[in-house]
């Protein structure tokens, strides 16, 4: 509504200025018109009286001329006429400044102020037998004229105020309907788009620039929604490809892991079939077959659970337990590479709200990468802790609690250039055929979906530490 208020204020000020200027000009024009009319009437009356006074003066003398002047003007209101001598002092002296009347050879009109009143003085020279300069002084009060002009000015002011008020009310109504409300709806739509909510098209009935803007925003949201769906599909495909790649790595180790129990199962079954065991030994052999079958089933189930795609579903997860399970899942790969795996210490207080499957995929990727980057007889260890810190700018927010999951290795480390690009899709430092470059980028995306981030601390020759930070929204000792 700030734009509406500015628009209304500008309009009201503009209308007020125009009305005031117009009223002042009308006031001056009416005043000038009435002044000219009164001056003309006074001059015409004065010339007529001057001819009569001059004629009577020549015929009957000064007293008769003065009597004629008094009789001729006695019935006129707001008008007084008398004879004056230019050089006289006292009663017959002009009321105006003598210097303004020299020489008194033509009609002159002067305006004087008598207290709060204005008086219009008109001097008409008259030729008389005496050798003195004299003439008629006609005084007219301008009080009625000034009163009329003042009333006109008040009417102009009232009209201007009324025009301003009406213009302000109309501007307010039209501004709220056609500017304020549509802009508020546009701002609300923009805020929802900023939060990722592209649903609900904005409908503005007006066919103006704001309506066109609303239509463009709706089209933008439709295009963004389509692009978002395409990105989600592509992201899920990348994640699935990364899972399949990791499954391939795990499957090669799983084959070795299943070899021993399969040999045990085969040997015990052959003993039973050949009748080489009897009594309690048959029971023990059958029990061993069952135990080894359950062990193989558990390994295969873990592999299938890891490979199966699923939607994000957050639930309380014990980070220490999950880390131990990941170490069991990749144990064969670690033994093949002659790398020691150190799972996190058991701690029931290390719980976080996360998707178990996706967090398993993240840690599996990080642990497998750590194993591959660690030379023989090296160590890869997992740990978890609670921290209080300010997240990086791309995450945003103030200092708050986080769950930090560390994956440390004693490998060769990475330089700054590699660390700057390691989360880019398809970027890898491995040989062709050894890696797709998807593991870290997919892990980064999964952690960002959880509202966290991955930090890397590494020095060439001194190993690396990958730390997964997740919002710690569950208090210590929360539900499992």
Band of pLDDT at residue 168, cut at 50, 70 and 90 = confident
Would you give the end-to-end CA distance of the chain in angstroms? Answer: 50
139 has pLDDT over 60: yes
Give the pLDDT mean for 165-173: 77
How many whole angstroms separate alpha carbon 40 and alpha carbon 46?
Answer: 10
Q: Which tokens go with 362?
A: 């993240």
> What is the number of residues in the chain?
480
Looking at residue 148, its pLDDT comes to 75
Q: Which tokens go with 450?
A: 């959880």
* CATH numbers and ranges of domains, the chain: 2-155 (3.30.450), 226-309 (1.10.287.130), 313-480 (3.30.565.10)
Give 334's Cβ-side CA count (13 Å radius). 21
CA dihedral 174, 179, 182, 185 (to 10 degrees): -120
Residues 339, 374 contacting (CB under 8 angstroms):
yes
Q: pLDDT of 405-414, one tens digit each?
A: 999 999 888 8
- More reliable by pLDDT, 163 or 398: 398
Q: pLDDT of 393-403, one tens digit each?
A: 888 888 899 99
Mean pLDDT value across the chain: 76
- More reliable by pLDDT, 176 or 123: 123
Q: pLDDT of 231-261, one tens digit each?
A: 666 666 665 555 556 556 556 555 655 666 7
Band of pLDDT at residue 116, cut at 50, 70 and 90 = low
404 has pLDDT over 90: yes
């Amino acid at each position: 509504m700030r734009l509406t208020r500015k628009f209304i204020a500008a309009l009201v000020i503009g209308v007020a200025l125009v009305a005031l200027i117009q009223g002042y000009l009308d006031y001056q024009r009416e005043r000038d018109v009435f002044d000219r009319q009164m001056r003309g009437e006074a001059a015409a009356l004065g010339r007529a009286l001057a001819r009569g006074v001059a004629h009577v003066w020549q015929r009957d003398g000064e007293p008769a001329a003065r009597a004629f002047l008094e009789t001729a003007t006695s019935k006129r209101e707001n008008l007084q006429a008398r004879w004056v001598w230019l050089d006289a002092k006292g009663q017959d002296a002009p009321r105006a400044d003598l210097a303004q009347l020299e020489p008194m050879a033509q009609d002159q009109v002067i305006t004087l102020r008598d207290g709060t009143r204005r008086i219009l003085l008109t001097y008409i020279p008259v030729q008389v037998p005496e050798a003195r300069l004299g003439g008629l002084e006609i005084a007219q009060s301008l009080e009625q004229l000034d009163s009329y002009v003042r009333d006109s000015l008040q009417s102009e002011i009232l009209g201007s105020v009324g025009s301003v008020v009406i213009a302000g009310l109309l501007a307010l109504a039209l501004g709220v309907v056609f500017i304020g409300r549509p802009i508020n709806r546009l701002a609300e739509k923009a805020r929802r788009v900023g939060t990722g909510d592209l649903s609900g098209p904005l409908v503005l009935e007006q066919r103006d620039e704001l309506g066109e803007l609303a239509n463009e925003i709706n089209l933008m949201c439709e295009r963004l929604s389509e692009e978002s769906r395409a990105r989600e599909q592509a992201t899920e495909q990348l994640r699935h490809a990364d899972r399949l790649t990791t499954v391939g790595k795990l499957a090669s180790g799983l084959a070795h892991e299943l070899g021993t129990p399969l040999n045990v199962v085969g040997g015990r079954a052959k003993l039973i079939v050949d009748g080489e065991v009897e009594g309690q030994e048959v029971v023990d052999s059958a029990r061993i077959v069952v135990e080894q079958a359950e062990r193989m089933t558990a390994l295969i189930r873990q592999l299938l659970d890891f490979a199966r795609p699923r939607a994000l579903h957050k639930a309380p997860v014990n980070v220490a337990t999950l880390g131990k399970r990941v170490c069991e899942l990749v144990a064969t790969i670690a033994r093949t590479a002659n790398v020691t795996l150190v799972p996190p210490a058991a701690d029931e207080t290390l719980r976080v709200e996360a998707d178990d499957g996706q967090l398993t995929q993240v840690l599996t990727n990080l642990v497998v990468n750590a194993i591959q980057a660690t030379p023989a007889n090296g160590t890869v260890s997992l740990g978890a802790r609670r921290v209080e810190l300010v997240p990086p700018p791309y995450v945003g927010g103030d200092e708050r609690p986080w769950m930090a999951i560390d994956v440390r290795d004693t490998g060769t480390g990475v330089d700054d250039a590699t660390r700057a690009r390691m989360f880019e899709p398809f970027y890898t430092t491995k040989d062709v055929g050894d890696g797709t470059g998807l593991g870290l980028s997919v892990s980064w995306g999964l952690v960002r979906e959880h509202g966290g981030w991955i930090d890397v601390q590494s020095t060439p020759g001194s190993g690396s530490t990958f730390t997964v930070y997740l919002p710690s929204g569950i208090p210590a000792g929360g539900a499992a």
